[in-house]
A and B are shown apart, each in its own frame.
Chain A
């Protein structure tokens, strides 16, 4: 195994009874890289994402993380509490629907602060200050710090979810359709935000999306899935501009030109 890798999943399979969730999928990510996972609904993108994050138990395969202390952890071998700790410190997960990733009945500041407390922060003033800085970073007016996310618009909620996830400085962030369900002007803002954060903080990301324009702007490499299998993988612009597989060609040629 290479020394500088951050994350590696090898031969991941997940079955739902007779049905294939995903089959024999391997991928690896270096620090600071953005990997896109594309494919139509039901192709296994979200299943794969949840498997490699450790949310879903895999039926076959191994998942390795080179953690902050340079120890290589195998998700399928470590204890449940250890995995939860890793998920909160080294990793992060941004849901398509911000309601799944936020606590709607506590304040915006509380949503960010909670993550800090979970990794050991105790100084209230300091936590509030960090939360305020992050609200600013994701362009939410700091005066809204004590408001509940239920009073926010969808785009603001999504940005809050991103702040909540990034405050602990994860090294790898998993995103499931992070801009799905948002109107296009808000999408653009979130794309810009993600790109800058990824570059400034050197965070690596895995992004699941069915929006090819989004992956083109964000991803270095992509994998294309169909029926739970990876049918093509490679350089982002190469797969989009000169797809080699029949299904990838169909996917790319089906996009409406604006």
Chain B
């Protein structure tokens, strides 16, 4: 279960006239196992910010984020890294990888991190890359040379190769064609049935309606 309690976020920008930006105040909701909660609201309401607070990439100003019994605000960097490695997955809109590393090695990395045997990891990576329609002749090339949609699918492959019980998705279907969009929605559906608790941002309404069990509108909170 993911629980958001009285969460506040503001940014203090010291080098830009000490501007203080209040993103949101007093956000409360919870996501149970097997639920997909879609965050909605216009651009700038803090949807991505909320995902980054849950993932530990942003500092919580006030309030709490609980993932199972782990309080993110009170966790040390080491605890957060351990949580990410084993339980908390995040599919961002941007692919950040070491240049010149082949796609297949990028995709197996989350499994190697948890000590999975390389042979098994490679097999799983091949399955998911095939499923996501990444042509086989690209697997040994760096994804940095790929198109936007292909890069996004590599990110998705990384996020779904391990069965994370908690999953954060930032626009997972944004730059995909209909066919690949459906593949990704199937992957989300499967993770949901497996009991993962998922929070996602889906600008595409049909995609959202298809997988989301509930919506949380950040403007109405």
Contact = CB atoms under 8 A, between A and B. Distances in A.
A241 B56 CA distance: 10
A220 B77 contact: yes
Closest 5 pairs (CB-CB, A-B): A246-B14, A188-B99, A235-B77, A242-B58, A188-B100
Chain A interface size range: 20 to 34
Nearest to A214: B98
A235 B99 contact: no
A68 interface: no
A241 B57 contact: yes
A79 B52 CA distance: 48
B58 A195 contact: no
B80 A235 contact: yes
Q: Interface of chain B, helix or strand or loop or mixed?
A: loop
B15 A235 contact: no
Nearest to B102: A192
A205 to B, nearest CB: 15
B81 A238 contact: no
Given A235-B80, A235-B81, A246 B15 contact: yes
Contacts of A256: none
Given A30-B78, A235-B77, A249-B13, A241 B98 contact: no
Nearest to A244: B59
A250 B56 contact: no
Contacts of A244: 59
Contacts of A199: 112-113
B58 A220 contact: no
Contacts of B59: 238, 242, 244
14 contacts: A184-B99, A188-B98, A191-B99, A195-B98, A220-B81, A235-B80, A238-B57, A238-B58, A242-B58, A242-B59, A246-B14, A249-B13, A249-B15, A250-B15
B214 interface: no
B116 interface: no
